[in-house]
Amino acid sequence: MLRTPVCDVFGIEVPVVQGPLGGPWQQQMELPAAVSNAGGLGSVPTALRTAGQVRHDIARLRDLTDQPFAVNMTRRPFLDDVFEAILADPPPIFSLALGEPGGLVKRVHDAGSVFMQQVTTVEQAERAAEAGADVISAQGTEAGGFSGRISTMALVPQIVDAVSPLPVLASGGIADGRGLAAALALGAQGVSIGTRFLASEESGISPEWQASILAAASEDAVKVTFAAYAFQPATAGGYDTEPRALRTSFIDEWNSRPNEAEAAADLLRAQMRMAAASGVTHHLVPLAGQSAGLIHEVLPAAEIVRGMVADAEAALRRALS
Ligand SMILES: Cc1cc2nc3c(=O)[nH]c(=O)nc-3n(C[C@H](O)[C@H](O)[C@H](O)COP(=O)(O)O)c2cc1C
């Protein structure tokens, strides 16, 4: 079985992390539970959740698995009461994305949890390593959700060199065993994956959003260039990122009117709020990454984990034969 040192850091069997998939839709703990029970690392997103909801989600996940899992926060925005709620019942792993870790690392370590930091540039990785992060997730621009501008292929080996000997995960554009094999060849010790798990039986997103992922080509997963005027702004220490989503008429319209989006910010935010309230955010901005082009069926999350590991082992053997 494919195993790397980061598996020992997390206490897991195989180096496959399910990236948090936060947003204004039903958050199903069945997904992180299935990934953790399959030997990978499931993640609980907390974006747009209250402290009470987060406590409830974590308690539910603990009912579904006794395996390690991560609880995630971002700096879009960062809510102190949610952070306190997480640390009151510390998860095995705490992950932060979209902003600087700073003093959070010590708080997380004092609570006894492992600190994983997601970054989008080499400089961010160096600062996270200096701040004491235990694991760095290097996320390329291919990724679904908020991401930076550098490709996974160029970013990962640079970050591996910059933060050695810290373990690095490759993230962005990886959806199968060949991607996992490539990540290992780049010096990463595993992968952190989002879009592939959106198309899992346990993800809880709407069937039409899943169907659009199965139907999409990679070029349909575009950057939402007007996001600064449609999403909540990042709080202090936030990284400069933009979301990637499958094209919709909303995205096409405002991506083609770059000079008008700022003046229309109130309208754009109102449309996003209304879509969220009706549970149809994916009609406007169905977050997904370029790996959508690689995904052709909805599968149980455990099957995705196991298939990815078996296929990576086969791909590595093939490459050396
Ligand atoms: C719908 C969606 C929601 C996401 N929400 C979060 C989140 O709340 N926190 C976070 O750190 N990353 C979030 N991400 C990023 C993923 O965890 C993961 O890093 C990314 O999807 C990896 O790239 P991939 O989509 O190419 O696999 C999200 C991604 C998607 C597609």
Name the pLDDT band for 161 (thresholds 50, 70, 90): very high
Q: What is the pLDDT of residues 51-71, one digit of tens each?
A: 999 999 999 999 999 999 999
Closest CA to 246 of 219, 265, 266, 271: 219
Give residue 250's identity as a one-letter amino acid code: F
CA of 13 to the centre of ligand 1 (A): 22
Cα 112 to ligand 1 centre (Å): 25
- Ligand 1: which residue has its CA nearest to atom 4? 21
Q: Ligand 1 within 6 A of 145 CB?
A: yes
List pLDDT tens digits, range 200-234.
999 999 999 999 999 999 999 999 999 999 998 88
CA distance 5 to 14: 10
For residue 47, which atom of ligand 1 is closest to its CA? 8
What is the arithmetic mean of pLDDT over 237-255? Answer: 97
Instruction: Tell me the mean pLDDT in the region 140-160.
Output: 98
Q: How far apart are CA 58 and CA 172, in angstroms?
A: 26
Q: Are 177 and 312 in contact (CB under 8 A)?
A: yes
* CB of 173 shorter than 6 A to ligand 1: yes
Tokens of 175: 């959806």
Taking the C-alpha atoms of residue 35 and residue 43, their distance in angstroms, rounded to an integer, is 9
pLDDT at 261: 95
Give the Å distance between the CA of 244 and the centre of ligand 1.
10
Chain-wide mean pLDDT for the chain?
97
Cβ–ligand 1 contact at 172 (below 6 Å): yes
What's the distance, CA 169 to chain centroid? Answer: 11
Question: Dihedral (C-alpha) 233, 235, 239, 241: value to the nearest 10 degrees?
Answer: -20
Q: Are 138 and 168 in contact (CB under 8 A)?
A: yes
For residue 313, the tally of other CB atoms under 10 A from its CB is: 15
- CA distances to 16, 295, 309 from 184, rounded to whole Å, are 11, 21, 12
Q: What angle do CA 252, 254, 257 make, to 5 degrees?
A: 110
In this structure, the residue with its CA closest to atom 30 of ligand 1 is 145
Q: Is the CB of 195 under 6 A from ligand 1?
A: yes
Q: Which of 232, 248, 288, 207 is nearest to 47 (CA)?
A: 232
